[in-house]
Structure 1
Amino acid sequence: MTTATPHLLRKLGDIEHFSSSRHHLGIYRCVTVTARHQHPPSSSSSSSPSHLASTSLSPAFLAALSHIVRHQPMLRVGIAADDSNDAHFTHIPSIDLRDHVSVTLVPCQSAQEYEDRVAQQQGWEHDQKFANIAERPPWRITILRPSSDVPELQGIEDVFFAFHHSIMDGTSGRLFHEMLLAAPSYQRPTTAAEGAEAAAAAAEEEPILSFPDPPPSLPESQEQGVDFTLSWSYTLRTLWTELGPSFLKPAKQPIWNAIPIDLSLPYRTRVKTIDYSPEQLSQLLSACRSRSVTLTALLHSLVLTSLAKRIPSPEAAPAFAAATPLSMRPYLSPAKSDPAHASSLRCLVAGCSHEFSPETVSAIRRAEDADVVNSLIWTIAQHVKAELAQKLAKIPQDDVMGLLKYISDWFAFWRGRDGKQRADSWEISNIGVLKNAPRDNAQGQEREDKKQQQQEEAGMPRATRLLFTNGAMVAGPPMGINVASVEGSVFTIGLSWQDRVVEDELMEQLAEDLTSFAARFQETGDSFV
């Protein structure tokens, strides 16, 4: 029996080939964005909805997912020839949603035990390679449900959305969850009749979706939709830096970057999570606004402060460098991009680099007085913010993404990095704020309270937490600091790293510091230490 040749759509673009080659080599496998759903009580007895006690999918969830897959072309494609530099997206004529969704009940005796299980699952998702991706879309959903009488865990489930980086980016992962929660089957009906009609329609939703015809179009590749321009001076300077003989170039400033790239190490992603309460987040945001910095810039400064103190040896860590991924969605060219795909899930990313000199690192290490440490933290944050602002003002001119077209063999590129030093010490990636579906447009607190009660009675789930992580970046930064939040709820930091590349003890210390910095600032109002 022979398998039919896949129907090829467009060729993968530069950044899509970047990720496709990494997946095939097993050195980066997926992005994972996980939303915690809080389900209101199913009755006046305040019990959780019955489906949360089983491994069954609610018809409303299945209908919501079906709605998104039907409307998002990148969830309906495969990838052919991913072992080559000529990989293409493929048309998938039929998708059985049951092949993409699984549910697991998690026995646990405490909220912390469940949180540990969530972090473990997040890491597990990163370690799995997608199989048969020419004929099956490379994404999956895993749902964890706590099997417990612990009050804090009542009515919740965590929805893990793991996906191949070629089909979308972290921001798209957040948008997927927003679409899921806002899908028609999840929206609160306004009347009992509408509620019955919606429930009946959801119950009739078939798990097998048929797409006899290819999508009318796919979102353009990044270089097709963004007007990258390159000056000769930037191009030559960058190519010289990458390809010029080392004996003709000045020595690079050594930085702490864990261990050299080792493609032979087992691929295992470790994950640790940190939550900032809404009160802590509000206080930090207010302080950032008053100093004209962003929370991402402040986090870079806090990570630097922690690592400079925790790795005190100037020989081991004379300096540091970091990266900030940037969304290219605001830079889609109206002349080059199809407005029909303005809100489509896709991969649109660039980045900004930051260097922290030996002088800056030494100043942090020497600082003992709290006022001096706090002053340094804000000064460094302002420096990072200025770099980000400068980068954003210049994009899409002279950006390295415009140079990816010069890499003709991605597999040779990655193998050529084996044994080399990493360019960065860490990466901070912020996918922004998830907004739950609006309840409606009524005004007044009294009416709002009434609407919320009606919504809860209708059983509409709300997101209360968003956990985002990159998998272990074998040929990239040794640690990822990944952040996301839910409007009005917690701000979550997901730390991720490759086992045996970064010591667990160092990541535990970083987590302790990021936790204590926020707690201390909440306590004092002006001091992190």
Structure 2
Amino acid sequence: MANNRPNHSTEAVALRKLGINETYQLAMHILDQYRSTVLSCRYAVPSHLALPESRTQLEEVIKAAVVETVMRHPMLQVGMIDVTSKTPSWVQLQSLDLSHHIEWLYLEEHADFGQTVQDVFRTQLDERFPDLSTEHPGWKITVIRQGEAPVMEAILTWNHPHFDGIGAKVFHEDFLTMLNNAENGDYERTGLNGDIFRLPEAPPFLPAPIESLKSLPLDLKYLTKAYWEDIRPQIFNRDVSQAAWCPIRSSPYKTQFRAFFINNASLVAILALCRQNKTTITGLLNGLALIAFSSHLDSTAAPAFQSSTMMDHRRNLPPAPPDAPWDRSDRAVSNYVTQVAHKFDTELVATIRSKLPEDSSEEIDLSADLRRELWAVSAQNRLEIVHKIEGGLRNDLVGVFKYVTDWQQTMRRIAERTRQFTWIVSNLGVLDGNKSEDDQSWSIERAQFGISAEIPAAAIEIAPISVSGWGMCVSASWPDCAVDMVLGERIMADLERWLTQLVSQSSCAS
């Protein structure tokens, strides 16, 4: 067996340099400003594979589906070299040892399945990928099973340079397809010997970074402003919307994570309200977060706010090359994320605070006045996102990033400044779970998305994801060393309670 073990150190073939987004995320990982990102899905297991005597067959089906997914997405096949240099590169690997990428966790009957899933999820958010070399790609799947339960949890944990959250959603959707195909006996993959999967000798066809596919034009005014904000001494920073109330701290590193779930009927009602009020779930969560932070922070600490919405650039990509194994640009597992910033000025925040009850110690309900402000803010937030979409790649943050020559130095400098954003919304949208009444097919019933604490980023990161026909999970994470745990929990409690109230008020109105 020793001859089958991977040996990459002297035979790694450089494929291309890391792109802008990839290098930026790698720098954060090296500086311990970020650790891991996690997307977990609960899979309905075909009834005949849920039996205890089918454990070996189940593992073989999962292993085959993982291998087929890896072959569809080359970013799962590569390692890195020169990771601490200014120009790290992706390298070709000869093989993958699946024992490093698939972990099996079998629970006793008396164990709490749901709590175990949450415990593993939280633990993996703070796990690092220490081997940033040519040994193993930075991703793994933890499969959790319990007895004859008709479900399993598949927790995908990855290092962000390899791909973004949308890439993880595509991974799970394709993995689901591969599970159903493997179940039908469609795969007889050569090159798999036990846990060692020998990769093709031909170099993998990697998705290109966006800056090499499309131009990223910057207007002089936009570029000048970005340059001034980069070099401006903090003494000249008079922007009261920045999150000065939450200084950037880097240690001790620990992510606080909370999540709640909304069933499908409630989600349908919320989506209907969003349509009526010309907004989206993303716009609504930005609006709710504004009210929540306005209620828990006073005007002295936070007279105004900034937030950010993470966006997917795949809509701006050219068609996938004919020989690309992922077929379509929107199915690329790679790193195509950008963001759009939102400002909530002192006048708006003062107006919202004027409509809050005087006794802030009690739970706040959404009054009619607050709902009017909520929908106005949410609609405006959607318009800003639409404007960004219509603008395409012009004046995009990634275009500014191409002028950065040393990302580690840049991220160290950013960590010494005033924090810009109070919150970020990173919405992965709707995952296609192949909902079926057939107990012989694989499907996905729920999903949960989480981001480890990003030290110089927003104080709190809000990360919703829905599964078609099943409902939505809203999660939040924050750095324990910078954000008071009680504040984070109160923000999340507000979001959950207010979404429930909106559903209830919608039902009464109808």
Whole-Å separation in 1 of the counterparts to 2:240 and 2:38: 33
Residue from 121, 141, 158 that aligns with 1:163 = 158
Whole-Å separation in 1 of the counterparts to 2:333 and 2:197: 19
Query: 2:245 touches 2:302 (CA, 8 Å); kept in 1?
Result: no
Matches within 5 A, 1:386-397: 386-397=383-394
Aligned to 1:68: 69
SS of residue paired to 1:423: coil
Residue from 9, 25, 30 that aligns with 2:15 = 9
Change (3 A) 1:390 1:42: same
- 408-417 or 55-64, which deviates more: 55-64
Q: Once superposed, which parts of structure 1, at least 4 consecutive aligned residues long, lie more than 6 Å away?
A: 199-202
Aligned to 2:363: none
Matches within 5 A, 1:67-146: 67-107=68-108, 113-135=112-134, 136-146=136-146
1:482 paired with 2:463, answer yes
Deviation at 1:237, TM superposition (A): 2.1
Query: 1:32 touches 1:469 (CA, 8 Å); kept in 2?
Result: yes
Q: Deviations over 1:377-406 (max 9, x none)?
A: 101101111111111111200112101121
Whole-Å separation in 1 of the counterparts to 2:478 and 2:53: 34
* Root-mean-square deviation over aligned CA pairs: 2.7
Whole-Å separation in 2 of the counterparts to 1:122 and 1:307: 26
Aligned to 1:446: none
Aligned to 2:228: 240
1:362 paired with 2:350, answer yes
Aligned to 2:172: 177
Gap regions ≥5 residues in structure 1: 190-194, 440-451
Whole-Å separation in 2 of the counterparts to 1:421 and 1:237: 17
Change (3 A) 1:257 1:98: farther
Deviation at 1:125, TM superposition (A): 1.2
Query: 2:15 touches 2:203 (CA, 8 Å); kept in 1?
Result: no
Deviation at 1:120, TM superposition (A): 2.7
SS of residue paired to 1:181: helix
Query: 2:435 touches 2:468 (CA, 8 Å); kept in 1?
Result: no
SS of residue paired to 1:355: strand
Which amino acid counterpart does residue 14 of structure 2 have in structure 1?
Answer: L
- 419-428 or 238-247, which deviates more: 238-247
Which amino acid counterpart does residue 71 of structure 2 have in structure 1?
Answer: R
1:211 paired with 2:204, answer no
SS of residue paired to 1:34: strand
Deviation at 1:21, TM superposition (A): 1.0
Which amino acid counterpart does residue 228 of structure 1 have in structure 2?
Answer: L
Aligned to 1:338: 321
Query: 1:39 touches 1:49 (CA, 8 Å); kept in 2?
Result: no
Whole-Å separation in 2 of the counterparts to 1:108 and 1:517: 36
Aligned to 1:276: 262
Residue from 489, 495, 518 that aligns with 2:476 = 495
Residue from 248, 254, 257 that aligns with 1:261 = 248
Which amino acid counterpart does residue 164 of structure 1 have in structure 2?
Answer: N
Whole-Å separation in 1 of the counterparts to 2:425 and 2:342: 11
Query: 1:255 touches 1:318 (CA, 8 Å); kept in 2?
Result: no
Query: 1:29 touches 1:164 (CA, 8 Å); kept in 2?
Result: yes
SS of residue paired to 1:58: helix
Query: 1:55 touches 1:103 (CA, 8 Å); kept in 2?
Result: no
Aligned to 1:50: 52
Whole-Å separation in 2 of the counterparts to 1:250 and 1:273: 35
State the identity %.
24
Deviation at 1:235, TM superposition (A): 1.2
Residue from 260, 271, 290 that aligns with 2:276 = 290
- How many residues are treated as equivalent by the alignment? 487
Deviation at 1:187, TM superposition (A): 3.7
Residue from 221, 224, 241 that aligns with 2:212 = 224
Aligned to 2:4: none
Which amino acid counterpart does residue 124 of structure 1 have in structure 2?
Answer: T
Aligned to 2:362: none
Query: 2:434 touches 2:444 (CA, 8 Å); kept in 1?
Result: no
Deviation at 1:51, TM superposition (A): 6.7
Change (3 A) 1:328 1:359: same
Whole-Å separation in 2 of the counterparts to 1:114 and 1:512: 24
Which amino acid counterpart does residue 7 of structure 1 have in structure 2?
Answer: V
1:462 paired with 2:443, answer yes
Whole-Å separation in 2 of the counterparts to 1:77 and 1:181: 22
Residue from 155, 180, 186 that aligns with 1:186 = 180
Deviation at 1:431, TM superposition (A): 0.9
Change (3 A) 1:26 1:55: farther
Gap regions ≥5 residues in structure 2: 1-6, 358-365
SS of residue paired to 2:501: helix
Q: Deviations over 1:79-137 (max 9, x none)?
A: 11111111000111011212211122345768xx5434323322221211213232211
Matches within 5 A, 1:360-509: 360-367=348-355, 368=357, 370-437=367-434, 452=437, 455-456=438-439, 458=440, 460-509=441-490
Change (3 A) 1:257 1:36: farther
SS of residue paired to 1:484: strand
SS of residue paired to 2:427: strand
Whole-Å separation in 2 of the counterparts to 1:521 and 1:502: 28
Whole-Å separation in 2 of the counterparts to 1:292 and 1:518: 17
Q: Deviations over 1:217-267 (max 9, x none)?
A: 2111121123211122221221122214556x561124445532223x022
Aligned to 1:516: 497
Change (3 A) 1:25 1:245: closer
